[in-house]
Amino acid sequence: MQRPFNVTLAASAVTLTCLAAALYASPVVIAENMGRQVQAFAPVNAGCSSLANDEPSVRADSVDETREHSTMTNDGTWQTVESEIDTPESAPTKEGSTQDATVDAAASPEDTSEPYPSEASTTRITSELPSNDTEASDPNATDTASPTAAPEDDTQDANIPEDLESPDSMTVIVNKARPLPSDFSPDDLVNLPDDLTAGSQQLREQAAEATEEMFKAAQDDGVELQVVSSYRSYDYQQRIYDNYLDEFGVKNTDAMSARPGYSEHQTGLAMDVDTPGGDETLTSTFGETEAGQWLADHAHEHGFIIRFPKDQEEITGFQYEPWHLRYFSEQYATHVAENSGVAEIEFGLEPAPDYQD
């Protein structure tokens, strides 16, 4: 039989009223029936998400608690009952303490950011940084490391003779500031071959051998040479100087001829060279002849240098003499000739433009 409309409407109203009352009276019961556990009888707000960090954790040995809740009986009436709140097992925290699993579950699911990089990300970042094993330096520490000494120029030292002083040294330097003893005479003088000289000439043995080789090389190139003056004793130099002095005076003579004891001829290592029957004997124009040019280009290859180069009077003390050759050995002669051409400069000596008395 069909119900009257008013009966149906009344029954629906009662049912809705009961449902509304149930929702208002017991949200906890409804929430539990839906499988969720709540913290309090209020909606979870933003403050709950920090509960895990701000509230003390619930211990496993906490006292059991009870709570009240309403339930509907079979006859449609509401009844209030008490039930135990089961304390869930606690989970250990980082520091060794236990923390309520319920609090962890109640944390906001959106709060998943980590306050510090995870172990994996830290490892990656560290591996990308360059390794630096150097210990931090103490700003107050004193640097005790000894400075690195500048390397010596062995090449330069090798081109400076060890003995520039001894009268019998093959590399002795004689000039207006460096005289020889008046009684010095080399003990290894030898006569040069007659076909290489004008008159009897002597040089020290090593210089004499080099002279023969040089004259032979010049002859191979079509240049004829001869020695017109070589070793002179102290006394012989005295006679030459006196003759110039009478003719030219002191100033001109000191520019042209050495005083006795200051002449390289006394070493037995110097000689004056010309061509046989030459017209430029002991003159500056000899440097312009074929023989003079050959000596300028090749004398050092045989151990000789042009001892008094052009325009070097302020250093050597003597005017240009392209005919005056001095033996030093091939090593030192080559070094001088390929650089300034002046022995005093290359051997690190002071200039000697004038006599010191």
Taking only the tens place, the pLDDT of each residue in 254-302 is: 988 999 999 999 999 999 999 998 889 999 999 999 999 999 999 999 9
Considering only CA atoms, which of 231, 225, 219 is closest in space to residue 196? 225
C-alpha 190/C-alpha 99 separation (Å) is 116
Is residue 168 located within the same domain as residue 100? no
Is residue 37 located within the same domain as residue 99? yes
Is residue 176 located within the same domain as residue 253? yes
Per-residue pLDDT tens over the stretch 139-193: 454 444 444 444 555 555 789 999 999 999 999 999 999 999 999 999 999 999 9
Is residue 209 located within the same domain as residue 313? yes
Strands 90-92 and 189-191: unpaired
- Domain that residue 33 falls in: 5-109
Q: What are phi and psi of 67, to 5 degrees?
A: -145, 155
138: in domain: no
Is residue 241 located within the same domain as residue 324? yes
C-alpha 323/C-alpha 271 separation (Å) is 8
253: in domain: yes
187: in domain: yes
65: part of which helix (H) or strand (E)? Answer: strand 65-72
Per-residue pLDDT tens over the stretch 30-78: 445 455 444 444 444 444 444 334 444 434 444 444 555 555 555 555 5
Is residue 96 located within the same domain as residue 234? no
146: in domain: no
Say yes or no to pLDDT of 115 above 60: no
Which residue type sits at 57? S
3-state secondary structure of 221: coil
Domain at 199, CATH number: 3.30.1380.10
Is residue 102 located within the same domain as residue 216? no
Domain closes at, from 46, 77, 109? 109
Q: Does residue 182 contact residue 260 with C-beta atoms inside 8 Å?
A: yes
Please state, in angstroms and as integers, the Cα–Cα distance from residue 205 to each residue in 192, 273, 277, 299, following that order. Answer: 9, 18, 27, 18
Is residue 333 located within the same domain as residue 241? yes
243: in domain: yes
Is residue 321 located within the same domain as residue 224? yes
28: in domain: yes
334: in domain: yes
207: in domain: yes
Say yes or no to pLDDT of 244 above 80: yes
Per-residue pLDDT tens over the stretch 207-216: 999 999 999 9
Is residue 99 located within the same domain as residue 204? no
Domain closes at, from 44, 75, 109? 109
Q: Is the pTM of this model over 0.85?
A: no
Is residue 99 located within the same domain as residue 186? no
Dihedral of CA 272/276/282/286: which sign?
negative
3-state secondary structure of 204: strand
Q: In percent, how much of the chain has pLDDT > 90?
A: 53
Q: Give the list of residues 6+ apart from residue 40 with CB closer than 8 angstroms, or none.
A: none
What is the total count of domains within the chain?
A: 2
Is residue 104 located within the same domain as residue 166? no
Domain closes at, from 69, 89, 109? 109
- Position 158 scores a pLDDT of 86
Say yes or no to pLDDT of 332 above 60: yes
Alpha helices in 175-220 (DSSP H): 205-220
